[in-house]
Structures are given as structure tokens and as C-alpha cells.
Amino acid sequence: MSYNLLKGKKGIIFGALDENSIAWKTAERVHEEGGTFVLTNAPVAMRMGQINELAEKTGSQIIPADATSVEDLQNLVEKSMEILGGKIDFVLHSIGMSINVRKGNHYTNQNYDWTQKGTDVSAMSFHKVMQTLYKADAMNEWGSIVALSYMAAQRVFPDYNDMADNKAYLESVARSFGYFFGRDKKVRVNTISQSPTPTTAGSGVKGFDGFIAYADKMSPLGNATALDCANYTVSLFSDLTKRVTLQNLFHDGGFSNMGVSTAVMETFMKEE
């Protein structure tokens, strides 16, 4: 169902890879709610995914950009404003990558060159995106910038590896830059701490199926899906959340406030 929540709003969506990705679902929902946008991803990711299909479906243009390259981001922002006909109202940062995870390096045995690359892609890129938008005065007042996070930023999930550190850094950047964006431009910046979601990126983490099953048993409402996250993101892009900023918003069916659930306890209780 569409409510026209984003009618007339324009933006940039980072990270749509395939129909399993949260960015993909968000693009579809933004389109349904009347928003227009430019799609962007790293050239290597674009070759792996089906972003052209999404662009056709939503009537969007694609601008390849490496989010770790300030030069690429400057080009992206400039071209996006040309295509969209003015300043930007919303941005989704849905980017994350760990070479240590991909290569099976344990957290206690990191290749630090890979760690640094992962931090640059997953977290520092968010600062670079916002700095580029800020310097170009590219955001409309009451615009909204959202990045996707995970609760491993606050709690230990052993196999989430260095991505946990990246997410903690990402959330800190959101708060710190969000202050200046709010004060100077009236733009809000938030992160969504999403349930474990079976996306292409997430499924690369060891034991991810176990994460998903455990979180689902722990959460009173069950896991939030990629589509649920897209809907929540739409609400944060809309004018209904104009005063929400500097927040890490848990979107996880209640998991983040649980100690234990009866469903999990039953797994450990001996039959009498």
C-alpha cells in the first residue's frame, strides 16, 4: 500500500545489489511512495548484481561510484543533482564489507591491511559521503540520511568479526556528523540497527543461519525482514520523523531489549 509519503522527494540510494538486499527493497518502496532517486554502487559490485533491472523498474539512473573515493563521491553528488533537478532530500548508506570475514580470518588473526580496507568501505565511507554532501550544500533542509547497522556494534557476536568494529565506528560517525548536519543544515542523520537479514552481504558471516534462528526465537515479534526495514527507512525519509536525529534505532522485533525468551529457554530445559 502506498501513502505518497515521499512525493516530490529526491535522493541517492547506495548499495542495491540484488533483490535480497535491503537497499533494493528500499528503492522499490521509495519509488512506490512517490520518491525519485539515483542508484549507485561500486563498479565491482555492479558487475556482481542486477542493478540495471532495478533502475528500469523504478525509472532511475545509475551512477557508479566507489564510496571510499572522495572524487567519485563528488562526481556522484554533482551528477545526481543534475539528474534530479536540485538538492537532495534523502540518502541511504547500505554498504558493508569485511575481507577478513570473506577470507575466513578469525578476529584474533586479522590481516590489518584487510581490516583497514573494510573500515574504509563500511564506516569511513559514511563520513566521506556526508562530508561531500555537506561541503556541496547538496541536502535540502529537513532532509534525512540513514545508514544500516547491526547490534554487534554494542554486544559480542563472535563470528561477526571486524564488522562489529566497523558498525560501532559507523554509528559514532552518524552521531558526530549528525550534530553538524542538524545544526547547520537542518538535516537529520540516523542509523538503523536491523535484525540479522539473509542478504548477500550478511550471509557471508560464519554461522549466520544460527544468528537468524536464534534472534527469531529471542524476539517477541520475530525478526524484521528486509522489506520491514525498507518500510522503516521510508518513514525516516518522510516528514513524519522531522525531529528524529542522532539515533541508533533498533529495528529487530524487540531482540535488543531481551534477556532470554521462553522459546530459547525451552531449548536448554530438561524434560521432567
Domains of the chain by start residue, with CATH: 10-270 (3.40.50.720)
Rounded CA-CA distance 137/117 in Å is 28
Rounded CA-CA distance 118/32 in Å is 33
**C-alpha grid cell, residue 268:** 536448554
Phi-psi region of 179 (alpha: psi -120 to 50; beta: other; left: phi over 0): alpha
pLDDT at 49: 74
pLDDT at 211: 84
pLDDT at 205: 66
95 is in an annotated binding site: yes
**C-alpha grid cell, residue 143:** 532532509
**C-alpha grid cell, residue 176:** 558526530
**3-state secondary structure at position 91:** strand
What phi and psi values does residue 187 have, to the nearest 5 degrees?
A: -110, 135
Paired sense of beta strands 248-251 and 188-194, if any: parallel
63 is in an annotated binding site: no
Neighbours of 68 (CB within 10 A): 17
The residue with cell 539512473 is: 61
Is the pTM higher than 0.85?
Answer: yes
3 annotated active-site: no
22 is in an annotated binding site: yes
134 annotated active-site: no
Catalytic residue (one of 107, 112, 134, 160): 160
What sections of 60-190 are H helices per DSSP?
70-84, 99-103, 112-119, 125-135, 163-185
List the pLDDT tens digit at each of the 272 positions of the chain.
Answer: 899 999 999 999 999 999 999 999 999 999 999 999 999 999 888 887 799 999 999 999 999 999 999 999 999 999 999 999 999 999 999 999 999 999 999 999 999 999 999 999 999 999 999 999 999 999 999 999 999 999 999 999 999 999 999 999 999 999 999 999 999 999 999 999 999 998 766 666 667 788 899 999 999 999 999 999 999 999 999 999 999 999 999 999 999 999 999 999 998 886 55
Rounded CA-CA distance 257/142 in Å is 30
pLDDT at 44: 84
Strand (E) or helix (H) holding 11 = strand 10-14
83 is in an annotated binding site: no
Rounded CA-CA distance 247/244 in Å is 7
Catalytic residue (one of 3, 112, 134, 150): 150
